[in-house]
Chain A
């Protein structure tokens, strides 16, 4: 069982928006503004899409945005495109003992 809880799957049509949630506790997501999101296509290494809750690395489209409220972080993808179909993982700093925790992953299907 993963430390952070994500929906197993979400779907949307091209052009629509989808939001993926990531629920933790006050010891991880809720306690620090250090949540990141990763996109992973089959057979590939994960790619950083969002860090520090809502910052985008250079080269990541502004269709991807992140936010946090309490113990839940969210990744929103607007203007869905076929190439957005992938697995998405959230990740959070979780204190000096546990350090890093991942969510179980969400499969995004573009209909």
Chain B
């Protein structure tokens, strides 16, 4: 059974960089699939942040692209998110997820982490 677990600080100061890691168990990232980050501000809808293929190719939401970096560490079977210059608008529950096996299948998200709330506040 594939399991994903987010970890990282729950509180980040404005203008700083938000950093989260997603540990994957039950499946080797290097075997395939797209791996992504999705967020949900309190009381609002889902927003795709970006994804990475096991080979390292990245795909970012155009509205966040200038501030987002997603990387993968296959040796630790985990992938990470960095979001720079955060503001209160970046306060959200951040989910990591396993998406499809090919690019067009990125909209198919079967496995999700439990989510972690990150608050941006001084």
User: B104-115 toward A: CB 8 Å interface, digit per residue (1/0)?
Assistant: 111111101111
Which residues does chain A contribute within 8 Å of B113, judged by CB atoms? 45
- B107 touching A2, Cβ below 8 Å: no
- B107 touching A93, Cβ below 8 Å: yes
- B110 touching A34, Cβ below 8 Å: no
Which B1-50 residues have C-beta < 8 A from chain A?
Answer: 36, 38, 45-48
Q: Is B79 part of the binding interface, using a Cβ–Cβ cutoff of 8 Å?
A: no
Q: Is A98 part of the binding interface, using a Cβ–Cβ cutoff of 8 Å?
A: yes
- B95 touching A45, Cβ below 8 Å: yes
Say whether, besides A45-B95, A45-B113, A32 and B104 are in contact (CB < 8 Å). Answer: yes
Residue tally, chain A, CB below 8 Å to B: 27
Which A31-56 residues have C-beta < 8 A from chain B?
Answer: 32, 34-36, 38, 45-48, 51-52
Q: Is B69 part of the binding interface, using a Cβ–Cβ cutoff of 8 Å?
A: no
Which residues does chain A contribute within 8 Å of B73, judged by CB atoms? none
Which residues does chain B contribute within 8 Å of A69, judged by CB atoms? none
Say whether, besides A34-B104, A34-B105, A45-B115, A100 and B48 are in contact (CB < 8 Å). Answer: yes
Which residues does chain B contribute within 8 Å of A2, judged by CB atoms? 45
Measured CB to CB, the residues of B under 8 A from A are: 36, 38, 45-48, 51, 59-62, 95, 99, 103-110, 112-115
Having A100-B51, A102-B45, one finds 12 other A-B pairs with CB under 8 Å, namely A34-B104, A35-B107, A38-B46, A38-B109, A45-B112, A48-B108, A51-B110, A57-B110, A93-B103, A99-B59, A100-B36, A104-B45
